[in-house]
Amino acid sequence: MIDVAILGATGAVGQRFIQLLEGHPWFRITELVASERSAGQAYRDAARWVLSGGPSDEIAAMEVLPLDADVQAKLVFSALPASIAKEVEWQMAEAGHVVCSNASAYRMAEEVPILLPEANAEHAELVKVQREKHRWSGGIVTNSNCTSAPVVMAFAPLRKFGIEAAQIVSQQAISGAGYPGVPSLDIMDNVIPYIGGEEPKLETEPRKMLGALAGDHIDFLDTVMSATCTRVPVLDGHLVSISVRFAEPVSEEDLIAAWDSFVGPDPVPGLPFAPPQPVIYRRELDRPQPRKDRDAGNGMACVVGRLRPCPVMGGWKFLAMAHNTVRGAAGCSILNAEVLVETGLL
Ligand SMILES: NC(=O)c1ccc[n+]([C@@H]2O[C@H](COP(=O)([O-])OP(=O)(O)OC[C@H]3O[C@@H](n4cnc5c(N)ncnc54)[C@H](OP(=O)(O)O)[C@@H]3O)[C@@H](O)[C@H]2O)c1
């Protein structure tokens, strides 16, 4: 078994890590880290559990460590706010830890991949570039902003058609804002038409993730994306409405066949957290829906539907949905770590 530490273990994503790692065949949680507010307390007292069920008795009794603790685990999952992650994740990598991060701090660093393994497992090779450039034995691997996840999963099988331009409107769940997140008086009976910092991320991260590994960096996908991000009163599951123009004529059958047959590159399909079918196209007129589809593939699949021609783009439009704290955060990070183990980078 590989020992793992979770940074930000008491937050929305940290709790999801704890839930998803229970019974993992390769990884076992040995250290939990959070802020000074939580350090020194038993996990059960420090964390206000927001998921269904609860942590195991063993996790509940673990003492939460402060951020400056001498973490022993080689593999570190980070669910820290980006401002804190910037310093801590770098120090961890320098000290020889492999950090799989949910924070945005290093996503755009040239030698750091934004991994979503079905779309870009080969980008993990950048860890070797980091080791050479920074003379460290650790590494930093990020996963995307939670809304980029369904966009990249839906687009990965369609790259071969030449994605020229895309317009994206998101309806994002409240768990995407962490805990305690958006005040209930703001979100109940409402839609909030602005999420700070999200739109620039959604217009750039997918281009890096769908890009090609070119030695010591990624060549971004040559496309343009326009994003509008909104927050809606849904607990989990980000829904995105996408209009896209392709370089070549593409039929409805071509698109559905590309999604249906998509599995991602080796070694991804055989990994413990890889869903059997990463992209599920549903033909019903009223799918995908967050409540009904967020647990598809144990929360690791992207559900797509409502494919129809887009007269404005001269291409196609559809909806895609993925679980924001599973595929868009902790679950993707665990799959990323599995890729690192399987490829010998960890
Ligand atoms: N929620 C999502 O769907 C999602 C998806 C993708 C990426 N992300 C990213 O993942 C990260 C975590 O998000 P979240 O939603 O889980 O946030 P959250 O619920 O606010 O949790 C933040 C965690 O960080 C800890 N923390 C805060 N300040 C700290 C400090 N100064 N020192 C040490 N620990 C500190 C908190 O510990 P205490 O409890 O002790 O304060 C808590 O464990 C963020 O970077 C976020 O952008 C989130």
CA–CA distances in Å: residue 147 to residues 128, 129, 278, 298, 322: 28, 28, 16, 18, 8
CA pair distance 61, 45, nearest whole angstrom: 9
What does the domain layout of the chain look like in residue ranges?
2-145+330-342, 148-323
Angstrom distance (rounded) from CA 120 to CA 195: 27
* Structure tokens, 6: 């979770």
3-state secondary structure of 292: helix
Q: How many whole angstroms separate alpha carbon 254 and alpha carbon 155?
A: 13
Q: Which of 97, 123, 146, 332 is catalytic?
A: 146
CA 271 – CA 77 distance, rounded (Å): 18
pLDDT by residue (tens digit) across 171-228? 999 999 999 999 999 999 999 999 999 999 999 999 999 999 999 999 999 999 999 9
For residue 299 and ligand 1, the question of a CB distance below 6 A is answered with no
Choosing among 3.40.1260.10, 3.90.190.20, 1.20.1260.10, 3.40.50.720, the CATH entry for 2-145+330-342 is 3.40.50.720
| Cα gap 88→99, rounded to integer Å | 10
pLDDT at 332: 98
Q: Whose CA is nearest to atom 30 of ligand 1?
A: 35
User: How many other CB atoms are there within 10 angstroms of residue 29's CB atom?
Assistant: 23
Alpha carbon of 11 to ligand 1 centroid (Å): 5
State if residue 187 touches ligand 1 by the CB under 6 angstroms criterion: no
Q: How far is the CA of 145 from the centre of ligand 1 (A)?
A: 13
With a 6 Å cutoff on the Cβ, whether 100 touches ligand 1 is no
pLDDT of residue 196: 96
C-alpha span between 150 and 326 (Å, rounded): 11
Q: Is the shortest distance between the CB of 64 and ligand 1 below 6 Å?
A: no
Average confidence score pLDDT of the chain: 98
| 175 Cβ below 6 A of ligand 1 | yes
**Does the predicted model carry a pTM greater than 0.85?**
yes
How far lies 18's CA from each of 4, 68, 300, in Å? 11, 21, 16
The Cα 60–Cα 66 span in angstroms is: 17
Contacts of 51 (CB under 8 A, 6+ apart): 15, 16, 19
Q: Which of 187, 192, 209 is nearest to 108 (CA)?
A: 209
Residue 256 CA, ligand 1 centroid: distance in Å: 37
Query: Could you say which of 97, 100, 229, 238 is catalytic?
Result: 238
Distance CA 153, CA 148 (A): 8
Superfamily of domain 148-323: Dihydrodipicolinate Reductase; domain 2 (3.30.360.10)
b/e map 186-198, b = 16+ CB within 10 Å: ebeeeebeebeeb
**Predicted confidence pLDDT, tens digits, the chain (346 residues):** 999 999 999 999 999 999 999 999 999 999 999 999 999 999 999 999 999 999 999 999 999 999 999 999 999 999 999 999 999 999 999 999 999 999 999 999 999 999 999 999 999 999 999 999 999 999 999 999 999 999 999 999 999 999 999 999 999 999 999 999 999 999 999 999 999 999 999 999 999 999 999 999 999 999 999 999 999 999 999 999 999 999 999 999 999 999 999 999 999 999 999 999 999 999 999 999 999 999 999 999 999 999 999 999 999 999 999 999 999 999 999 999 999 999 999 9
Tell me if residue 97 is catalytic: no
> For this structure, is 238 an active site residue?
yes
Helix axis angle for 331-342 and 12-21, nearest 10°, is 50
Ligand 1 nearest-atom number relative to CA 105: 45
79 Cβ inside 6 Å of ligand 1: yes
